[in-house]
Structure formats: structure tokens, C-alpha cells
Structure 1
Amino acid sequence: MTKADLIENVYLKTGFSKKESADIVEMVFDIMKSNLEEGEKIKIAGFGNFVVKEKATRRGRNPQTGDEIEITSRRILTFKPSQVLKASINNEG
């Protein structure tokens, strides 16, 4: 599913215009993005959690040369689905 598909579904299910539906989808994504950039957790009941985690600096190896390199610290985004979503995907509910 693409963003265009989401917009189309919002348009069909709400009766808003396509422009209004696109604005709504964009607003939701912008809110989620800004909260994640600030390191906040997003918890959507019945769907799952989006969490930004900090990865520390660590040693690694260049697979081509075997040289040791330093992998810099960074932030990663993780998603953990809720039990409800897992059950739904596995046709258990």
C-alpha cells in the first residue's frame, strides 16, 4: 500500500474531497515524524508502537578488506506490532 492508496481509502470512507483526504494523511504523517524526531514513542492501540532507539558507537569490519572500522552512533526506528494486530494477521481474531 502506498501513500496514494491511503489517501484514496480516506477519500472513499470519509466523503472528504481528495485534497482534504491528502491533507489529513499528510498531517498525520507530519505529526508522527515530528514526534519521532523528538525521540517520543508513538503508541497506537490495536496497531503497535513506534520507538526511536539509540545505537551506541561500535567496532565493525569492512567485509572487503577486513579492516576494522568504527560504526558511529545513530538513532533507529523500530516498530513492534500489538497482539491485536498479530492475531489479525494470523487470522486468529
Structure 2
Amino acid sequence: MAQKPMTKTQLIAAIAEKMDADKKTATAALDAITDVITEEVSNGGAVTLPNIGKIMCRERPERMVRNPATGEQLKKDADKVVKMTIAKALKESVNE
């Protein structure tokens, strides 16, 4: 059975413990990292998190899609999606 994902509160507590700091400092660090990643990716850039992966924005071209309920073909405009490529180190640590 799958575990529930770690909540933000649990993540902040874990970061504070690893940093030997208080939760306020850990919250500020997490918020700063989130802001930097969001800003960089929304501007079309990419961010590499060592031993975790790479977060990037990718453009998808205009394409034809099908409505599964009616079978009707629709044209979907070009858009952007956020992609994350997982680092080899993380993949290997999960499979140990």
C-alpha cells in the first residue's frame, strides 16, 4: 500500500531538523527555493536540483485532440507544460 505524501508541515519540520535550525528558518528557505524555481521556469528556463532532477518548461505545438465522450476532433492551441526529469542518483537510491 502506498504511503501518503509528505505534507508541507512535515517537510518543513524535516528540513529544520537537518539544518539544526528552527521551523521559521526552514519555512523561509523552502519558500525561497520555491520562488526561485517558479520564477525561472515560468520565464522559460530550467532549474537543476542536484541528485534530484531537472525542472523545465517545454512548449507543446498546436495539435489535434479527440473528445473521448463524443469522438469529435478538436484543435488544441499551442501551450506550455512543466516537465521534471529525475536524476540518475535518485532513481538508483529508490531501487536499492
TM over 0.5: yes
TM, length-normalised to structure 2 = 0.85
TM-score with structure 1 setting the length: 0.88
Q: Deviations over 1:1-40 (max 9, x none)?
A: 1221211111112232212211111111111111110111
The CA RMSD measured in Å over matched residues stands at 1.2
User: Where in structure 1 do 4 or more consecutive aligned residues deviate above 3 Å?
Assistant: none
Q: Which runs of 5+ in 2 are unaligned?
A: 1-5
Alignment coverage as a number of residue pairs: 91
SS of the residue 2:68 aligns to:
coil
Q: Which residue of 1 aligns with 2:41?
A: 36
Percent identical residues:
24
Residue 74 of structure 1: aligned partner: 79
Distance 2:21 2:68 in 1: 53
Q: 1:4 aligns with which of 9, 26, 46?
A: 9
What's the secondary structure of 2:65's corresponding residue?
strand
